[in-house]
Amino acid sequence: MRSPALEAALATVDTVFNGFASPHETGCGRCHLPEETAYLRTPFTRVPPDVLEMYVFEVSDHFDDHAAAMRRLLPQGARAMADGTLEGVGWREHGLGVVDWRSWPAEQAAAIEAFFHAWWEDVLATPEPPNAVEDVFETCAAVLGSFTPLLDRWKTAPVADAHLLRCVDQWLDDLLAESSPFAWCSRATDSDIRELQSWLAQEAPARLESRDYGLATRAGALALPYPERWDRLY
């Protein structure tokens, strides 16, 4: 069951982006069938799931107007993300991570930001979310352009700490080696990675100690300069 905040955010996306289309879209003649591209030009029509997935994760140069196409797909695409039915979350680059949606009218930008905040908070409170928590984190970070709002919302709670354990287990080897653990979130800068390292070094040891003492200890080593980490651990 979705949280009230996520339901409200989805309803706002529905309202704000209702009826949008990309009226002059021709698509990529090699990759897109004419009947598939027609969905982008036609508002108020449900897009088949496989076509929705294709266009949400399509590269930007396959559109005449990528931003218009993303606005067209947002109501259905946001619900598919929340339901876990949008294949590609976590291993393909979402179109909203490419377009400059923050330059859109304030009501549109606010609706997108609120959705990704609410989706992340809903996942943190759900013991078995439809998508793996690390995949949702990477998708939200790529779209929002920052780890900060995600980390700020990752408050301690039993379910959220269980998700933290999973993510630390997935990310820690790369972070200890000063590498990015993210496969396709190309906008993650060195500053972003340092922010994540610092946050985990501060938060993970106490929150994970009772769950996995060894992992908690290793996470704490992220606070040390690189050479000292290995002296501490080994």
The pLDDT value recorded for residue 77 is: 98
The pLDDT value recorded for residue 54 is: 96
Count Cβ atoms below 10 Å from residue 21 Cβ, excluding itself.
Answer: 17
The pLDDT value recorded for residue 30 is: 85
The pLDDT value recorded for residue 167 is: 98
- The whole-model pTM stands at 0.95
Closest residue by Cα to residue 146 from 111, 120, 107: 120
Q: Concatenated DSSP letters for 32-87? A: S-HHHHHHHH-TT-PPPHHHHHHHHTS-GGG-S-HHHHHHHHHHHHHHHHHHT--T
Which parts of the chain register pLDDT below 70? 185-186
Plot region of 179 (φ>0 → left; ψ -120 to 50 → alpha; else → beta): beta
**Six token digits for residue 45:** 């029509």
What is the Cα–Cα distance from 119 to 108, expressed in whole angstroms?
Answer: 17
Q: What is the DSSP letter of 209?
A: T
Q: Residue 91: helix, strand or coil by DSSP?
A: coil
Measure the CA angle with vertex 47, ends 46 and 49; round to 5°: 120
Hey, where are the domains in the chain?
1-132, 154-234
**Digit-coded pLDDT (tens) for 78-94:** 999 999 999 889 888 99
Question: In this structure, are residues 129 and 85 in contact, taking their beta carbons and an 8 Å threshold?
Answer: no
What is the Cα–Cα distance from 5 to 94, expressed in whole angstroms?
Answer: 22
